Amino acid sequence: MNILVIGGGGREHAVVKALKKSKRCEKIWCLPGNGGITADCECFPIKATDLDGIVAFAKEHAPDFAVVTPDDPLCMGLVDRLEAIGVPCFGPRANAAILEGSKVFSKDLMQKYGIPTATSRTFSSPEEALSYLKTTTYPAVIKADGLALGKGVCIAHDFSEAQTAVREMMVEKVFGASGTRILVEEFLEGPEISVLAFTDGNTIVPMVSSMDHKRAWDGDEGPNTGGMGTVAPNPYYTKEVAERCMREIFLPTVAAMHAEGRPFLGCLYFGLMLTREGPKVIEYNCRFGDPETQVVLPLLESDLLEIMLAVRAGKLHTVDVKFSEKAACCIVLASRGYPKKYDMGYEISLPALEAGEEIYIAGAKREGEKLLTAGGRVLGAVAVAEDLASAVRKAYALAGKINFENAYMRSDIGARALKPRT
Ligand code: AMP
Ligand code: GLY
Protein backbone atom coordinates (compact mmCIF):
# COMPACT_ATOMS: atom_id res chain seq x y z
CA MET A 1 0.00 0.00 0.00
CA ASN A 2 1.05 3.58 -0.66
CA ILE A 3 0.51 5.78 2.35
CA LEU A 4 0.32 9.52 2.81
CA VAL A 5 1.37 10.84 6.24
CA ILE A 6 0.52 14.42 7.15
CA GLY A 7 2.73 16.32 9.59
CA GLY A 8 6.38 17.08 10.14
CA GLY A 9 7.50 16.57 13.72
CA GLY A 10 9.08 13.91 15.90
CA ARG A 11 5.69 12.25 16.27
CA GLU A 12 5.37 11.86 12.50
CA HIS A 13 8.92 10.49 12.31
CA ALA A 14 7.90 7.81 14.82
CA VAL A 15 4.69 7.08 12.88
CA VAL A 16 6.59 6.80 9.57
CA LYS A 17 9.18 4.46 11.08
CA ALA A 18 6.46 2.26 12.62
CA LEU A 19 4.45 2.13 9.37
CA LYS A 20 7.57 1.17 7.41
CA LYS A 21 7.80 -2.02 9.48
CA SER A 22 4.47 -3.23 8.12
CA LYS A 23 4.57 -5.94 5.47
CA ARG A 24 1.79 -4.21 3.58
CA CYS A 25 3.55 -0.85 3.41
CA GLU A 26 5.19 -0.22 0.04
CA LYS A 27 5.66 3.53 -0.10
CA ILE A 28 5.21 6.51 2.19
CA TRP A 29 5.01 10.20 1.35
CA CYS A 30 5.18 12.67 4.22
CA LEU A 31 3.86 16.26 3.94
CA PRO A 32 5.75 18.36 4.84
CA GLY A 33 8.00 15.95 6.78
CA ASN A 34 11.37 17.34 7.81
CA GLY A 35 15.10 16.96 7.18
CA GLY A 36 15.24 13.84 9.32
CA ILE A 37 12.12 12.14 7.97
CA THR A 38 13.54 12.39 4.43
CA ALA A 39 15.94 9.59 5.43
CA ASP A 40 12.90 7.30 5.76
CA CYS A 41 10.49 8.40 3.05
CA GLU A 42 9.83 11.07 0.44
CA CYS A 43 8.88 14.44 1.87
CA PHE A 44 7.26 17.34 0.00
CA PRO A 45 7.11 20.90 1.34
CA ILE A 46 3.32 21.15 1.57
CA LYS A 47 2.22 22.46 4.96
CA ALA A 48 -0.12 20.33 7.11
CA THR A 49 -2.57 23.26 7.14
CA ASP A 50 -2.53 23.69 3.34
CA LEU A 51 -5.63 21.57 2.80
CA ASP A 52 -5.96 22.48 -0.88
CA GLY A 53 -2.32 21.62 -1.50
CA ILE A 54 -2.67 18.26 0.26
CA VAL A 55 -5.86 17.39 -1.63
CA ALA A 56 -4.16 18.26 -4.94
CA PHE A 57 -1.18 16.07 -3.99
CA ALA A 58 -3.53 13.20 -3.11
CA LYS A 59 -5.37 13.55 -6.42
CA GLU A 60 -2.08 13.36 -8.29
CA HIS A 61 -0.47 10.49 -6.35
CA ALA A 62 -3.61 8.51 -5.39
CA PRO A 63 -2.46 7.09 -2.04
CA ASP A 64 -4.28 3.98 -0.77
CA PHE A 65 -4.49 5.36 2.74
CA ALA A 66 -3.71 8.57 4.64
CA VAL A 67 -2.67 9.12 8.24
CA VAL A 68 -3.41 12.60 9.58
CA THR A 69 -1.72 13.32 12.92
CA PRO A 70 -1.58 17.09 13.71
CA ASP A 71 -4.50 18.83 15.42
CA ASP A 72 -4.91 21.75 13.00
CA PRO A 73 -5.65 19.80 9.80
CA LEU A 74 -7.90 17.40 11.73
CA CYS A 75 -9.96 20.25 13.18
CA MET A 76 -9.99 22.00 9.78
CA GLY A 77 -11.55 18.90 8.21
CA LEU A 78 -8.69 17.37 6.22
CA VAL A 79 -10.03 13.86 6.80
CA ASP A 80 -13.42 14.90 5.40
CA ARG A 81 -11.71 16.42 2.37
CA LEU A 82 -9.52 13.37 1.66
CA GLU A 83 -12.33 10.90 2.18
CA ALA A 84 -14.47 12.95 -0.23
CA ILE A 85 -11.94 12.23 -3.01
CA GLY A 86 -11.82 8.55 -2.10
CA VAL A 87 -8.75 8.38 0.14
CA PRO A 88 -9.54 6.45 3.34
CA CYS A 89 -7.93 8.01 6.40
CA PHE A 90 -6.77 7.28 9.89
CA GLY A 91 -7.94 10.24 11.96
CA PRO A 92 -11.24 11.77 13.06
CA ARG A 93 -13.50 13.85 10.88
CA ALA A 94 -13.89 17.50 11.89
CA ASN A 95 -17.15 16.81 13.75
CA ALA A 96 -15.24 14.47 16.09
CA ALA A 97 -11.92 16.37 16.15
CA ILE A 98 -13.90 19.10 17.91
CA LEU A 99 -13.22 17.09 21.07
CA GLU A 100 -9.82 18.83 20.99
CA GLY A 101 -10.81 21.83 18.89
CA SER A 102 -13.27 23.19 21.45
CA LYS A 103 -12.72 22.85 25.18
CA VAL A 104 -16.25 24.17 25.70
CA PHE A 105 -17.62 21.34 23.55
CA SER A 106 -15.64 18.68 25.41
CA LYS A 107 -16.52 20.11 28.84
CA ASP A 108 -20.23 20.15 27.94
CA LEU A 109 -19.96 16.57 26.68
CA MET A 110 -18.30 15.39 29.89
CA GLN A 111 -20.91 17.16 32.00
CA LYS A 112 -23.78 15.76 29.94
CA TYR A 113 -22.50 12.16 30.13
CA GLY A 114 -21.12 12.21 33.69
CA ILE A 115 -17.46 11.79 32.70
CA PRO A 116 -15.21 12.89 35.60
CA THR A 117 -13.47 16.22 34.99
CA ALA A 118 -12.79 19.53 36.77
CA THR A 119 -15.94 21.56 37.44
CA SER A 120 -16.05 24.58 35.23
CA ARG A 121 -17.91 27.62 33.93
CA THR A 122 -17.91 29.02 30.42
CA PHE A 123 -17.83 32.75 29.64
CA SER A 124 -18.19 34.65 26.40
CA SER A 125 -17.84 38.13 27.88
CA PRO A 126 -14.75 39.40 29.72
CA GLU A 127 -16.90 41.41 32.18
CA GLU A 128 -18.83 38.33 33.30
CA ALA A 129 -15.65 36.27 33.53
CA LEU A 130 -13.99 38.94 35.69
CA SER A 131 -16.94 39.36 38.01
CA TYR A 132 -16.91 35.58 38.59
CA LEU A 133 -13.13 35.56 39.04
CA LYS A 134 -13.44 38.23 41.79
CA THR A 135 -15.25 35.76 44.02
CA THR A 136 -13.81 32.37 43.03
CA THR A 137 -11.10 30.45 44.93
CA TYR A 138 -7.47 30.34 43.77
CA PRO A 139 -5.57 28.85 42.08
CA ALA A 140 -8.07 28.90 39.24
CA VAL A 141 -7.49 27.49 35.78
CA ILE A 142 -8.37 29.68 32.80
CA LYS A 143 -8.54 28.08 29.36
CA ALA A 144 -9.12 29.48 25.90
CA ASP A 145 -11.82 27.46 24.12
CA GLY A 146 -9.95 26.73 20.88
CA LEU A 147 -6.55 25.50 19.71
CA ALA A 148 -3.67 27.59 21.04
CA LEU A 149 -0.49 25.57 20.42
CA GLY A 150 -0.75 24.17 23.96
CA LYS A 151 -0.41 27.67 25.41
CA GLY A 152 -4.06 28.51 26.03
CA VAL A 153 -4.07 27.43 29.67
CA CYS A 154 -3.27 29.76 32.58
CA ILE A 155 -3.07 28.66 36.18
CA ALA A 156 -3.89 31.92 37.97
CA HIS A 157 -2.82 32.20 41.60
CA ASP A 158 -4.75 35.38 42.32
CA PHE A 159 -7.23 37.78 40.77
CA SER A 160 -4.55 39.93 39.19
CA GLU A 161 -3.08 36.97 37.25
CA ALA A 162 -6.60 35.96 36.24
CA GLN A 163 -7.29 39.48 35.01
CA THR A 164 -4.16 39.41 32.83
CA ALA A 165 -5.16 36.05 31.34
CA VAL A 166 -8.70 37.20 30.56
CA ARG A 167 -7.40 40.40 28.98
CA GLU A 168 -4.90 38.51 26.80
CA MET A 169 -7.35 35.82 25.72
CA MET A 170 -10.59 37.78 25.32
CA VAL A 171 -9.60 41.40 24.69
CA GLU A 172 -6.15 41.36 23.06
CA LYS A 173 -7.02 38.02 21.43
CA VAL A 174 -3.47 36.65 21.53
CA PHE A 175 -4.90 33.26 20.49
CA GLY A 176 -7.22 34.79 17.90
CA ALA A 177 -10.74 33.39 17.74
CA SER A 178 -9.69 30.60 20.15
CA GLY A 179 -10.23 33.07 23.00
CA THR A 180 -13.76 34.18 22.06
CA ARG A 181 -14.99 31.92 24.83
CA ILE A 182 -13.07 30.87 27.91
CA LEU A 183 -13.48 28.29 30.63
CA VAL A 184 -12.71 28.90 34.27
CA GLU A 185 -12.18 25.61 35.99
CA GLU A 186 -11.34 24.05 39.28
CA PHE A 187 -7.64 23.45 39.95
CA LEU A 188 -6.95 19.74 40.21
CA GLU A 189 -3.94 18.13 41.86
CA GLY A 190 -2.19 14.83 41.33
CA PRO A 191 0.12 13.05 38.91
CA GLU A 192 -0.69 13.42 35.23
CA ILE A 193 -1.07 10.43 32.93
CA SER A 194 -1.33 10.40 29.14
CA VAL A 195 -3.23 7.53 27.57
CA LEU A 196 -3.44 7.25 23.79
CA ALA A 197 -6.12 4.88 22.55
CA PHE A 198 -7.13 3.44 19.20
CA THR A 199 -10.84 3.68 18.60
CA ASP A 200 -13.09 2.90 15.64
CA GLY A 201 -16.09 4.65 17.14
CA ASN A 202 -17.30 1.56 19.02
CA THR A 203 -14.31 -0.40 20.30
CA ILE A 204 -11.55 1.34 22.22
CA VAL A 205 -8.10 -0.14 22.81
CA PRO A 206 -5.77 1.88 25.03
CA MET A 207 -2.07 1.87 24.23
CA VAL A 208 0.64 1.70 26.86
CA SER A 209 0.36 4.71 29.22
CA SER A 210 2.94 7.49 29.35
CA MET A 211 4.05 10.56 31.28
CA ASP A 212 4.87 13.83 29.56
CA HIS A 213 7.10 16.59 30.99
CA LYS A 214 5.52 19.80 29.71
CA ARG A 215 7.55 22.46 31.50
CA ALA A 216 10.78 23.75 29.98
CA TRP A 217 13.07 23.43 33.00
CA ASP A 218 14.04 20.84 35.60
CA GLY A 219 11.73 20.35 38.55
CA ASP A 220 8.69 21.16 36.38
CA GLU A 221 9.55 24.86 36.42
CA GLY A 222 9.49 27.40 33.62
CA PRO A 223 7.13 27.94 30.73
CA ASN A 224 4.89 25.26 29.21
CA THR A 225 6.27 23.61 26.07
CA GLY A 226 4.99 21.02 23.62
CA GLY A 227 6.72 18.43 25.84
CA MET A 228 10.39 18.03 26.86
CA GLY A 229 10.40 14.27 27.34
CA THR A 230 8.30 11.24 28.08
CA VAL A 231 8.41 7.86 29.74
CA ALA A 232 6.23 4.81 29.24
CA PRO A 233 4.62 3.07 30.94
CA ASN A 234 3.46 5.58 33.57
CA PRO A 235 3.87 3.91 36.99
CA TYR A 236 0.85 5.77 38.37
CA TYR A 237 -1.34 3.99 35.84
CA THR A 238 -1.83 0.82 37.83
CA LYS A 239 -4.18 -1.99 36.81
CA GLU A 240 -6.84 -0.58 39.15
CA VAL A 241 -6.51 2.93 37.72
CA ALA A 242 -6.62 1.51 34.19
CA GLU A 243 -9.83 -0.40 34.92
CA ARG A 244 -11.43 2.66 36.44
CA CYS A 245 -10.41 4.82 33.47
CA MET A 246 -11.88 2.28 31.07
CA ARG A 247 -15.18 2.14 32.97
CA GLU A 248 -15.59 5.79 33.92
CA ILE A 249 -13.82 7.64 31.11
CA PHE A 250 -12.78 5.70 27.98
CA LEU A 251 -15.93 3.72 27.22
CA PRO A 252 -18.29 6.57 28.22
CA THR A 253 -16.39 9.00 25.96
CA VAL A 254 -16.62 6.73 22.91
CA ALA A 255 -20.30 6.07 23.64
CA ALA A 256 -21.00 9.77 24.14
CA MET A 257 -19.44 10.72 20.80
CA HIS A 258 -21.41 7.97 19.15
CA ALA A 259 -24.64 9.13 20.74
CA GLU A 260 -23.95 12.70 19.58
CA GLY A 261 -23.63 11.51 15.99
CA ARG A 262 -19.89 12.23 16.02
CA PRO A 263 -18.22 8.79 16.01
CA PHE A 264 -14.53 9.17 16.76
CA LEU A 265 -12.21 7.13 14.54
CA GLY A 266 -8.48 7.43 15.07
CA CYS A 267 -6.24 8.00 18.07
CA LEU A 268 -7.98 9.53 21.05
CA TYR A 269 -5.62 11.03 23.61
CA PHE A 270 -6.77 11.25 27.21
CA GLY A 271 -4.88 13.78 29.33
CA LEU A 272 -5.72 12.56 32.83
CA MET A 273 -5.03 13.66 36.36
CA LEU A 274 -5.06 11.12 39.14
CA THR A 275 -6.78 13.08 41.90
CA ARG A 276 -7.68 11.88 45.40
CA GLU A 277 -11.17 11.22 44.10
CA GLY A 278 -9.90 9.20 41.17
CA PRO A 279 -8.87 9.83 37.57
CA LYS A 280 -10.29 12.95 35.89
CA VAL A 281 -10.00 14.27 32.36
CA ILE A 282 -7.80 17.36 32.02
CA GLU A 283 -8.11 17.45 28.25
CA TYR A 284 -8.86 15.37 25.19
CA ASN A 285 -6.67 15.49 22.10
CA CYS A 286 -7.91 14.13 18.81
CA ARG A 287 -4.53 12.70 17.78
CA PHE A 288 -1.30 11.04 18.85
CA GLY A 289 0.62 13.06 21.45
CA ASP A 290 4.05 14.50 20.80
CA PRO A 291 6.41 13.30 22.39
CA GLU A 292 4.17 10.51 23.81
CA THR A 293 4.14 8.72 20.45
CA GLN A 294 7.92 8.54 20.50
CA VAL A 295 7.80 6.24 23.56
CA VAL A 296 4.53 4.42 22.83
CA LEU A 297 5.13 3.24 19.24
CA PRO A 298 8.57 1.71 19.94
CA LEU A 299 6.78 -0.55 22.45
CA LEU A 300 4.08 -1.61 19.95
CA GLU A 301 4.68 -5.19 18.83
CA SER A 302 1.69 -5.43 16.48
CA ASP A 303 1.50 -4.03 12.96
CA LEU A 304 0.55 -0.33 13.15
CA LEU A 305 -0.80 -0.24 9.60
CA GLU A 306 -3.08 -3.24 10.22
CA ILE A 307 -4.45 -1.52 13.33
CA MET A 308 -5.02 1.76 11.50
CA LEU A 309 -6.79 0.01 8.63
CA ALA A 310 -8.98 -1.87 11.13
CA VAL A 311 -9.87 1.42 12.84
CA ARG A 312 -10.95 2.88 9.51
CA ALA A 313 -12.97 -0.24 8.67
CA GLY A 314 -14.75 -0.24 12.06
CA LYS A 315 -13.14 -3.59 12.85
CA LEU A 316 -10.75 -2.76 15.63
CA HIS A 317 -12.06 -5.74 17.63
CA THR A 318 -10.63 -8.11 15.01
CA VAL A 319 -6.95 -7.12 15.31
CA ASP A 320 -4.28 -7.83 17.85
CA VAL A 321 -2.90 -4.76 19.61
CA LYS A 322 0.05 -5.94 21.62
CA PHE A 323 2.61 -3.91 23.53
CA SER A 324 5.94 -5.05 24.92
CA GLU A 325 6.36 -5.31 28.70
CA LYS A 326 9.50 -3.20 28.42
CA ALA A 327 9.83 0.53 29.17
CA ALA A 328 10.80 3.49 27.01
CA CYS A 329 12.12 7.00 27.57
CA CYS A 330 12.38 9.96 25.20
CA ILE A 331 14.66 12.92 25.94
CA VAL A 332 13.85 15.96 23.81
CA LEU A 333 16.84 17.97 22.66
CA ALA A 334 15.68 21.52 22.05
CA SER A 335 17.26 24.74 20.84
CA ARG A 336 18.35 26.73 23.91
CA GLY A 337 15.69 29.36 24.62
CA TYR A 338 12.72 27.26 23.45
CA PRO A 339 9.74 27.83 23.84
CA LYS A 340 10.63 31.54 23.54
CA LYS A 341 13.42 32.95 21.38
CA TYR A 342 16.12 30.69 20.00
CA ASP A 343 18.68 30.50 17.18
CA MET A 344 18.64 27.83 14.48
CA GLY A 345 20.79 26.60 11.62
CA TYR A 346 23.39 24.65 13.63
CA GLU A 347 24.76 21.41 12.28
CA ILE A 348 23.57 18.26 14.09
CA SER A 349 25.86 15.28 14.47
CA LEU A 350 24.16 11.98 15.18
CA PRO A 351 25.74 8.81 16.57
CA ALA A 352 25.22 5.32 15.11
CA LEU A 353 22.27 3.62 16.80
CA GLU A 354 22.46 0.44 18.83
CA ALA A 355 19.66 -2.03 19.50
CA GLY A 356 16.86 -0.46 21.54
CA GLU A 357 17.76 3.09 20.47
CA GLU A 358 15.92 5.48 18.16
CA ILE A 359 16.34 9.11 17.20
CA TYR A 360 13.22 10.87 15.96
CA ILE A 361 13.88 14.18 14.23
CA ALA A 362 11.42 17.01 14.93
CA GLY A 363 12.88 20.36 13.85
CA ALA A 364 15.68 19.95 11.33
CA LYS A 365 16.35 20.65 7.68
CA ARG A 366 18.75 19.07 5.27
CA GLU A 367 21.35 21.06 3.36
CA GLY A 368 23.29 18.74 1.13
CA GLU A 369 24.71 16.07 3.43
CA LYS A 370 24.22 18.22 6.50
CA LEU A 371 21.35 18.17 8.97
CA LEU A 372 20.74 21.61 10.51
CA THR A 373 18.55 22.63 13.44
CA ALA A 374 15.33 24.27 12.24
CA GLY A 375 12.96 24.38 15.18
CA GLY A 376 12.43 24.64 18.92
CA ARG A 377 12.23 20.96 19.62
CA VAL A 378 15.00 19.52 17.43
CA LEU A 379 14.81 15.78 18.10
CA GLY A 380 14.00 13.04 20.59
CA ALA A 381 16.55 10.50 21.82
CA VAL A 382 14.64 7.32 22.65
CA ALA A 383 15.69 4.15 24.41
CA VAL A 384 13.78 0.95 25.14
CA ALA A 385 14.96 -1.27 27.99
CA GLU A 386 13.78 -3.95 30.43
CA ASP A 387 12.74 -1.42 33.06
CA LEU A 388 12.14 2.30 33.33
CA ALA A 389 15.35 3.13 35.22
CA SER A 390 17.45 1.47 32.49
CA ALA A 391 15.43 3.14 29.72
CA VAL A 392 16.01 6.57 31.28
CA ARG A 393 19.73 5.88 31.72
CA LYS A 394 20.09 4.63 28.14
CA ALA A 395 18.11 7.53 26.68
CA TYR A 396 20.34 10.05 28.48
CA ALA A 397 23.45 8.18 27.31
CA LEU A 398 22.18 8.40 23.74
CA ALA A 399 21.23 12.07 24.11
CA GLY A 400 24.76 12.74 25.41
CA LYS A 401 26.21 11.47 22.12
CA ILE A 402 24.19 13.93 20.00
CA ASN A 403 25.83 17.26 19.33
CA PHE A 404 24.68 20.61 18.06
CA GLU A 405 25.40 24.12 19.20
CA ASN A 406 22.91 25.58 21.70
CA ALA A 407 21.39 22.18 22.49
CA TYR A 408 19.26 22.10 25.62
CA MET A 409 17.58 19.24 27.43
CA ARG A 410 16.03 18.72 30.84
CA SER A 411 18.13 16.56 33.14
CA ASP A 412 15.26 15.06 35.16
CA ILE A 413 13.04 13.29 32.62
CA GLY A 414 11.65 10.20 34.33
CA ALA A 415 12.68 11.31 37.84
CA ARG A 416 9.12 11.71 39.07
CA ALA A 417 8.10 8.37 37.57
CA LEU A 418 11.01 6.64 39.30
CA LYS A 419 10.40 8.27 42.69
CA PRO A 420 8.61 5.98 45.16
CA ARG A 421 4.92 6.74 45.08
CA THR A 422 3.39 8.59 48.01
P1 AMP B 1 -3.73 21.42 28.54
O2 AMP B 1 -3.20 22.34 27.47
O3 AMP B 1 -5.20 21.40 28.68
O4 AMP B 1 -3.04 20.07 28.49
O5 AMP B 1 -3.18 22.02 29.91
C6 AMP B 1 -1.81 22.22 30.09
C7 AMP B 1 -1.44 21.82 31.49
O8 AMP B 1 -2.14 22.66 32.42
C9 AMP B 1 -1.85 20.41 31.86
O10 AMP B 1 -0.94 19.44 31.45
C11 AMP B 1 -1.94 20.52 33.36
O12 AMP B 1 -0.65 20.39 33.94
C13 AMP B 1 -2.43 21.93 33.59
N14 AMP B 1 -3.88 21.93 33.84
C15 AMP B 1 -4.86 22.00 32.94
N16 AMP B 1 -6.07 21.96 33.54
C17 AMP B 1 -5.84 21.88 34.86
C18 AMP B 1 -6.67 21.81 36.03
N19 AMP B 1 -8.00 21.84 35.95
N20 AMP B 1 -6.06 21.72 37.23
C21 AMP B 1 -4.72 21.71 37.33
N22 AMP B 1 -3.89 21.78 36.29
C23 AMP B 1 -4.42 21.87 35.06
N1 GLY C 1 2.49 16.17 24.60
C2 GLY C 1 1.23 16.79 24.66
C3 GLY C 1 0.51 16.87 23.40
O4 GLY C 1 0.84 16.24 22.41
O5 GLY C 1 -0.48 17.60 23.37
Q: What CATH number does the domain containing 15 carry?
A: 3.40.50.20
- Residue 171 has phi, psi (to 5 degrees) of -100, -55
Where among 299, 318, 337 does a domain terminate? Answer: 318
- Could you give the number of structural domains in the chain? 4
Query: From the CA of 346, how far away is ligand 1's center (Å)?
Result: 33
Query: From the CA of 337, how far away is ligand 2's center (Å)?
Result: 19
Same domain, 197 and 270: yes
Where among 180, 210, 227 does a domain terminate? Answer: 180
Q: Do 321 and 205 contact (CB within 8 A), yes or no?
A: yes
Burial of 277 (0-12, 13-18, 19+ CB in 10 A): exposed
Q: Looking at the domain assignment, is residue 265 inside a domain? A: yes
pLDDT confidence of residue 224: 87
Query: Which residues, including other chains, have CB under 8 Å from residue 63's CB and lie 6 or more apart?
Result: 2, 3, 4, 29, 87
Where among 180, 209, 227 does a domain terminate? Answer: 180
CA dist 80 and 369 (Å) reads 38
Enclosing domain of residue 161 = 125-180
Alpha-carbon torsion angle 66, 69, 72, 78, nearest 10: 10
Residues with C-beta less than 6 Å from any ligand 1 atom: 118, 141, 150, 153, 155, 185-188, 192, 214, 271, 282-283
* Protein residue whose Cα sits closest to atom 11 of ligand 1: 282
Q: Do 349 and 326 contact (CB within 8 A), yes or no?
A: no
Nearest atom in ligand 1 to the alpha carbon of residue 282 is: 16
Q: Looking at the domain assignment, is residue 114 inside a domain? A: no
CA dist 251 and 264 (Å) reads 12
Nearest ligand (C-alpha, residue 227) = 2
Q: Looking at the domain assignment, is residue 370 inside a domain? A: yes
Query: Which residues, including other chains, have CB under 8 Å from residue 422's CB and lie 6 or more apart?
Result: none
Write the DSSP symbol of residue 171. I
CA angle, residues 251, 256, 261, in degrees to nearest 5: 130
Q: Looking at the domain assignment, is residue 289 inside a domain? A: yes
Same domain, 149 and 226: no
Same domain, 294 and 341: no
Helix spans in 23-134 (H): 51-61, 71-76, 78-84, 94-101, 103-112, 126-133
Q: Looking at the domain assignment, is residue 115 inside a domain? A: no
Same domain, 287 and 393: no
pLDDT confidence of residue 152: 87
Domain CATH number, residue 145: 3.30.1490.20
Nearest atom in ligand 2 to the alpha carbon of residue 11 is: 4
Q: Which of 136, 138, 155, 220 has most ligand 1 atoms within 8 Å of CB, for mutation?
A: 155
**What's the Rg (C-alpha) of the chain?**
21
Nearest ligand (C-alpha, residue 269) = 2
Same domain, 209 and 291: yes
Query: Which residues, including other chains, have CB under 8 Å from residue 108's CB and lie 6 or more apart?
Result: none
* Protein residue whose Cα sits closest to atom 5 of ligand 2: 289
Same domain, 214 and 311: yes
Same domain, 280 and 337: no
Distances (CA, A) of 29 to 42, 110, 282, 359: 5, 37, 34, 20
CA dist 73 and 406 (Å) reads 31
Domain CATH number, residue 219: 3.30.470.20
Q: Looking at the domain assignment, is residue 186 inside a domain? A: no
Nearest ligand (C-alpha, residue 189) = 1
Q: Which of 136, 184, 282 has most ligand 1 atoms within 8 Å of CB, for mutation?
A: 282
Q: Do 72 and 46 contact (CB within 8 A), yes or no?
A: no
Same domain, 298 and 404: no
Same domain, 291 and 337: no
* Protein residue whose Cα sits closest to atom 7 of ligand 1: 153
Q: What is the pLDDT along the chain (422 residues), one digit of tens a residue?
A: 999 999 999 999 999 999 999 999 999 999 999 999 999 999 999 999 999 999 999 999 999 999 999 999 999 999 999 999 999 999 999 999 999 999 999 999 999 999 999 999 999 999 999 999 999 999 999 999 998 877 789 999 999 999 999 999 999 998 988 989 999 999 999 999 999 999 999 999 999 999 999 999 999 999 889 899 999 999 999 999 999 999 999 999 999 999 999 999 999 999 999 999 999 999 999 999 999 999 999 999 999 999 999 999 999 999 999 999 999 999 999 999 999 999 999 999 999 999 999 999 999 999 999 999 999 999 999 999 999 999 999 999 999 999 999 999 999 999 999 986 65
Same domain, 301 and 342: no
Same domain, 87 and 129: no
pTM of the model: 0.96
Query: What is the DSSP secondary-structure string of 372-394?
Result: EE-SSEEEEEEEEESSHHHHHHH
Q: Looking at the domain assignment, is residue 105 inside a domain? A: no
Q: Looking at the domain assignment, is residue 134 inside a domain? A: yes
Q: Do 279 and 117 contact (CB within 8 A), yes or no?
A: no
Q: How many CB atoms lie within 10 A of CB 97?
A: 30
Same domain, 34 and 146: no
Roughly what angle, to the nearest 10 degrees, separates helices 304-312 and 10-20?
100
Query: From the CA of 279, how far away is ligand 1's center (Å)?
Result: 14
pLDDT confidence of residue 148: 85
Residues with C-beta less than 6 Å from any ligand 2 atom: 150, 212, 227, 285, 289-290, 292
